[in-house]
Chains A and B, each alone.
Chain A
């Protein structure tokens, strides 16, 4: 275990549904991240939070809405998604949001949008 948990592990939703992904880290880290991993593509950074403040939004569509209530928890709220949003969504954390920091990943949520 990496100390980062994600729920649910699998999610199927229709295009009109609203759902949320949850991430929790037990490592005492201050930075948290959301990544999207599609088949045959590199991990795409979506959002970065540092001490609960969003420091990076990588041109993510507004149908993805992140929330970071504290340094240990990160949510990704989903609404009116498209089939091309089907992917593995990974949460990660690091001590600080710096390029030399090792990132610890959760197991991911496999999302299927019908």
Chain B
């Protein structure tokens, strides 16, 4: 069956460190993968999109990798700050629509 897995346990890190979040998928062949940020009580906000033929994408302190062989995307936040604390969702494109993972909550401690 098709599955998207993000670590359901919260990730706690110290301010200034690099946070790395994982998105694994099975039985999909997505052409695109997107990452969103969701704060409590708010809707998700788009962060980055990466295509299947791209290995890496960067935007300011954010970096996303996409390995179609491993069926995995990694999402990195460098020099993390308490304001980066939120839930991060990965979303795969599949037959014209986005399929979301359940998200990983990141807590950055000062």
Contacts and interface: CB of A to CB of B under 8 A. Distances in A.
Interface of A: 2, 4, 40-43, 45, 48, 56, 90, 92, 97-100, 102-108, 110
Interface of B: 4, 8, 30-32, 34, 41-46, 49, 51, 89, 93-103
Most B-side CB within 10 Å, residue of A45, A56, A100, A104: A100
A105 B34 CA distance: 14
B98 A103 contact: yes
A99 B98 contact: yes
A97 B96 contact: yes
Given A4-B43, A103-B44, 4 more contacts: A99-B97, A100-B31, A100-B51, A110-B41
User: Taking chain A's interface residues, is the majority helix, strand, or loop, or is none over half, making it mixed?
Assistant: loop
Most B-side CB within 10 Å, residue of A2, A4, A106, A110: A2
Most A-side CB within 10 Å, residue of B30, B46, B93, B103: B46
B43 A105 contact: yes
Contacts of A103: 44, 46, 98
Contact of B42 (A43, A99, A107): A107
B49 A102 contact: yes
